[in-house]
Amino acid sequence: MKKITFTIITLLFVSFAFSQEEEDYQQKIDSIEKSFNYEYGTISLKNNIGKIIIPNGFKYLNIEQSERVLTDLWGNPKYTDMTLGLILPENQGIMDDNGYVFNIQYDEIGYVEDDDANKIDYDELLTQIQDDSKEENKERIKEGYEPINIIGWASKPYYDKSKKILHWAKEIKFGDQEINTLNYNIRILGRKGVLVLNAIATIPDLTYVQNDIPKVLDIVQFSEGNKYADFDSSIDDVAAWTIGGLVAGKVLTKVGFFALILKFWKIILIAVAAFFKPLMNLFRKKNHEITSSNQKELSE
């Protein structure tokens, strides 16, 4: 009878504790969300690269706050120029389980020649990328990391020659994770480099991201002197990468990918640990009491 009573009490306690912990966890998430100050309209990029016009239905998080998200909240190692800010749908929060954000970067790799754009066999390129990733995985496994497998194109590469905009998406499997990663990339070509938009999302969010892609393709405006058409062959550097090279670039160089992998694990683990610690202590205490009681009854 004691065991049955304890089981019922335990179940009631677990239900109450879980409800309370869930409420506390949500309060923490809400508190984090309220700490952000979003911006709208026209955003000037540093070093006078150009500007971004935030489209209707979206909001922008500045560099300082975005670095906090990518490092403190999502667990990425901090490095120079890791972000120029984050863009996300206006009705979505940074800490939402579903949805996506675009991380903005500028990669000053030089003037990217696009002569090869119409000659690329993207299916053949995909096979090459998959083969390269297998070789990279050997090193990753040696170093104690899980393998990264390129499943295929989530959205086949497309280059708009008139607008100088390239975009594509890969479906990626990280280790044994059940939900695959969506690595959606946009590159806007400029005189001295490319403006990068990397969508941080999962494969279930693909349709959501694809529906919004047209809204963000034209948001970048390079300043005078930094436009693709401003290239001067007598003084400007030509990038080692062409259009095909941008698509085939190593997955590991993309901060958006890393941000996704680590996106919510710290907060989730903290919440789980906070819930189970007192619960396990209670189980140990009650188990000890029942064992002692049983031992006493047997001795009598």
pLDDT digits (tens, 9 = 90+) for 125-149: 999 999 988 888 888 788 777 788 8
Integer Cα distance of 134 and 129 in angstroms: 9
Report the domain count for the chain.
2
The answer to whether residues 146 and 286 belong to one domain is no
The answer to whether residues 243 and 152 belong to one domain is yes
The answer to whether residues 271 and 259 belong to one domain is no
Sign of the torsion formed by the C-alpha atoms of 140, 122, 185 and 91:
negative
Q: What is the mean pLDDT of residues 149-167?
A: 94
In this predicted model, what pLDDT tens digit does every residue of 220-256 receive, in sequence order? 999 999 999 999 999 999 998 899 989 987 543 444 4
The answer to whether residues 258 and 282 belong to one domain is no
- Determine the Cα angle at 135 with ends 132 and 136, to 5°: 85
Residue range of the domain that includes 25? 2-31+267-299
The answer to whether residues 273 and 143 belong to one domain is no
pLDDT of residue 255: 40
- The phi, psi pair for 128, rounded to 5°, reads -65, -45
Integer Cα distance of 201 and 180 in angstroms: 9
Question: Helix, strand, or coil here: 120?
Answer: coil
The answer to whether residues 155 and 60 belong to one domain is yes
The answer to whether residues 70 and 214 belong to one domain is yes
Tokens representing residue 63 in the block: 């560099």
Task: Determine how many CB atoms are found less than 10 A away from the CB of residue 154.
Answer: 20
Residue with token string 């100088």: 164
